[in-house]
Structure 1
Amino acid sequence: MKADLSDLNAFVAVARAGGFRDGARMSGASASALSEAVRRLETQLGLRLLNRTTRSIALTEAGRRLLDRLTPALSEVDAAISDARELRDRPAGTLKLNVPVSATRLVLPAIIPAFLAAYPDIHLDITVDESFVDILAAGCDAGIRYGERLEKDMIAVPIGPRRQRFALGASPAYLDERGRPEHPRDLLTHRCLQGRFPSGTRMQWEFERGHEVVKVDVTGPLTVEIGGASDLIVDVAVAGVGIVPLFEDWLRPHFNSGALEPVLEPWWQSFEGPFLYFAGRRLVPGPLRAFVDFVKAHRP
């Protein structure tokens, strides 16, 4: 048999105040509501808890014992509710994100240090995955992907750079030996290092200048799965093996150092940056809400 918590609180309010009217003033409920709650509790227990007169009330032995046991128990309930509300105001817990490798290199490094400093009670748990996954089925709170791979029922928030470009690079030694392409079709005679998605589909080499769009079916000595082997394909290009396609920001340090030289830069396509996405729910977990608000407040 379970007593209603509100009825127990009503009994405690009346017992502590010494009457229904004073209990009503202390609790904010009406005297009649308190009286009905106590009567309901007594009926459920099969015990009289209060001896009532027209002027006062007095605890019975059963009422006194119940009050003695309820007082610390209800204090614990109040403390638990306060703790829960504090988590709402000061988020704590684990936030699980599912992200591609590009986000770990080009997006999250500019966000995570400041976010963890602002929310020291939040722990980030990040899974790196190039395929599109059901984040809820995977046990994650949110993910980062590009717009064309987002499901329609997800809430999407821009995160990281809003425009990005796919670049081509090759070592100066390679270009000195094989020549510098002037048009995307020139790539047909070059050694092109290729990327493959986890699905098995090869990355398409597409270029754009003005209103002209060119797609080239390239060939080359090396194909790697996009994501985990991206650093390998860059190192191979730096070693002079061929031309590498990758995010401009990923290749930028190598362009700046001279290890790689931009190839066909006027033809590089730009595209919309990534999104943080999560399922639409009425109550968003505190750590996720804090991350979403932080991302919105620190957009580039």
Structure 2
Amino acid sequence: MQVDLGDLNAFVAVAQAKGFREGARLMGASASGLSEAVRRLETQLGVRLLNRTTRSVSPTEAGQRLLTRLRPALSEVEAALDVVNNFRERPAGTLKLNVPMSAARLVLPAIIPGFLEAYPEIRLEVVAEESFVDILAAGCDAGIRYDERLEQDMIAVPIGPRTQRFATAAAPGYLDRRGRPTHPRDLLDHACMRGRFASGAMPPWEFERDGEVVNVDPSGPLLVRIGGATDLVVDAAVAGVGVVHLYEDWLRPHLASGALEPVLEDWWRPFPGPYLYYPGRRLVPAPLRAFIDFIKAGSDKDAI
């Protein structure tokens, strides 16, 4: 049985996106075109692959089994076709990255302009979200995460600053009213603005000085989803609402301007920087290989 590869890709896109419209957006195609491709595939196979309602699309049992087998197979086909890229003068194609908001804000801006200038035939797509995802299932080539959130079977390449710190700060006016903490536990008596992951986890604030590690779980008037709403916490801190605990690089402009004042600076705890990670398969797509080589070259320059 000969099945059109484009129809298979259309089915995978719709099934993963859970909708024809979103699948069309991700593929750069039309929803009606994807609908026709899936209908043609179902007719050829003689089995329904997707359950369709006015509100949602989900795989049938047969569709789910086909999807499970197709994902790795189509990834291998894509990688095999990408070998042709090695014969081009310059790599071309799409590179899709899944990154946390902090990387999109603090790491990629120093890398992306130079990379796109060096490889004008590569199109970069960045998806920013905090939850740890299966990058292959999400249709991404690679991701950026911190060491504690990497899967063991992934290849990891350092990217961005190799050491970072979480900084604690508040507006000078707030500290004048409420006092300046001298120990992390003093924060329990302050208005502290917190962040929570999509999973529901709310990480404690970690501090360290002279070998002493202190974790505190303060409360306050504002709680946001970590990621897109993080700037709201920063703006609230600048407005004098309370204390913020965030990446030092994120807060640096406000610290430099005096809008925020460092709190417990000698307790700020350093931690290793992020990694670019990707599946340890034999064939690495040419756009990803170019990106890996670019960040490695940048790291080598920084080390000189």
- Name the residue aligned to 1:130: 130
Q: CA separation in 1, counterparts of 2:237 and 2:256?
A: 15
Total equivalences in the alignment: 220
Residue 188 of structure 1 deviates from its aligned partner by 1.1
- Name the residue aligned to 1:283: 283
Q: Deviations over 1:102-142 (max 9, x none)?
A: 00111000000000000000000110110000000000000
Secondary structure, in 3 states, of the residue corresponding to 2:218? coil
The code of the aligned residue for 2:123 comes to H
Residue 84 of structure 1 deviates from its aligned partner by 4.7
Identity between Structure 1 and Structure 2 (%): 70
Residue 143 of structure 1 deviates from its aligned partner by 0.1
Q: Is the 8 A contact 2:143 2:276 kept in 1?
A: yes
Q: Deviations over 1:204-262 (max 9, x none)?
A: 11111011111112110111011111100000000000000100000000000111001
Q: TM-score of the superposition, structure 2-length normalised?
A: 0.70
Q: CA separation in 2, counterparts of 1:179 and 1:137?
A: 50
- Name the residue aligned to 2:101: 101
Q: CA separation in 2, counterparts of 1:229 and 1:190?
A: 21
Q: CA separation in 2, counterparts of 1:107 and 1:84?
A: 27
**Larger Cα Rg: Structure 1 or Structure 2?**
1
Unaligned runs of at least 5 residues, structure 1:
1-79
Residue 90 of structure 2 is aligned to residue 86 of structure 1: no
Residue 299 of structure 2 is aligned to residue 295 of structure 1: no
Mapping of 1:25-36 within 5 angstroms? none
The code of the aligned residue for 1:214 comes to V
Q: Deviations over 1:55-114 (max 9, x none)?
A: xxxxxxxxxxxxxxxxxxxxxxxxx99975433x41000000000000011100000000
- Name the residue aligned to 1:11: none
Residue 146 of structure 2 is aligned to residue 174 of structure 1: no
Residue 281 of structure 1 deviates from its aligned partner by 1.4
Q: CA separation in 1, counterparts of 2:83 and 2:222?
A: 59
Residue 258 of structure 2 is aligned to residue 258 of structure 1: yes
Q: Is the 8 A contact 2:173 2:240 kept in 1?
A: yes
- Name the residue aligned to 2:115: 115
Q: Deviations over 1:131-159 (max 9, x none)?
A: 00000000000000000000000000000
- Name the residue aligned to 1:267: 267
Q: CA separation in 2, counterparts of 1:103 and 1:85?
A: 29
Secondary structure, in 3 states, of the residue corresponding to 2:200? coil
Distance 1:91 1:219, change over 3 A: same
Distance 1:215 1:82, change over 3 A: closer
Q: CA separation in 1, counterparts of 2:98 and 2:241?
A: 33
Distance 1:197 1:119, change over 3 A: same
Q: CA separation in 2, counterparts of 1:220 and 1:161?
A: 31
Instruction: After the TM superposition, list the runs of 4 or more consecutive aligned residues in structure 1 that deviate by more than 2 angstroms.
Output: 80-87
The code of the aligned residue for 1:134 comes to D
The code of the aligned residue for 1:154 comes to M
Secondary structure, in 3 states, of the residue corresponding to 1:294? helix
Distance 1:237 1:282, change over 3 A: same
Secondary structure, in 3 states, of the residue corresponding to 1:224? strand
- Name the residue aligned to 2:68: none
- Name the residue aligned to 1:223: 223
The code of the aligned residue for 1:199 comes to S
Q: Is the 8 A contact 2:85 2:91 kept in 1?
A: no
Residue 160 of structure 2 is aligned to residue 157 of structure 1: no
Distance 1:271 1:85, change over 3 A: closer
Q: CA separation in 2, counterparts of 1:168 and 1:195?
A: 14
Q: CA separation in 1, counterparts of 2:157 and 2:86?
A: 26
Q: CA separation in 1, counterparts of 2:83 and 2:240?
A: 63
214-223 vs 249-258, which moves further: 214-223
Residue 277 of structure 1 deviates from its aligned partner by 0.2
The code of the aligned residue for 1:271 comes to F
Residue 213 of structure 2 is aligned to residue 204 of structure 1: no
Unaligned runs of at least 5 residues, structure 2:
1-80
Q: Is the 8 A contact 2:168 2:245 kept in 1?
A: yes
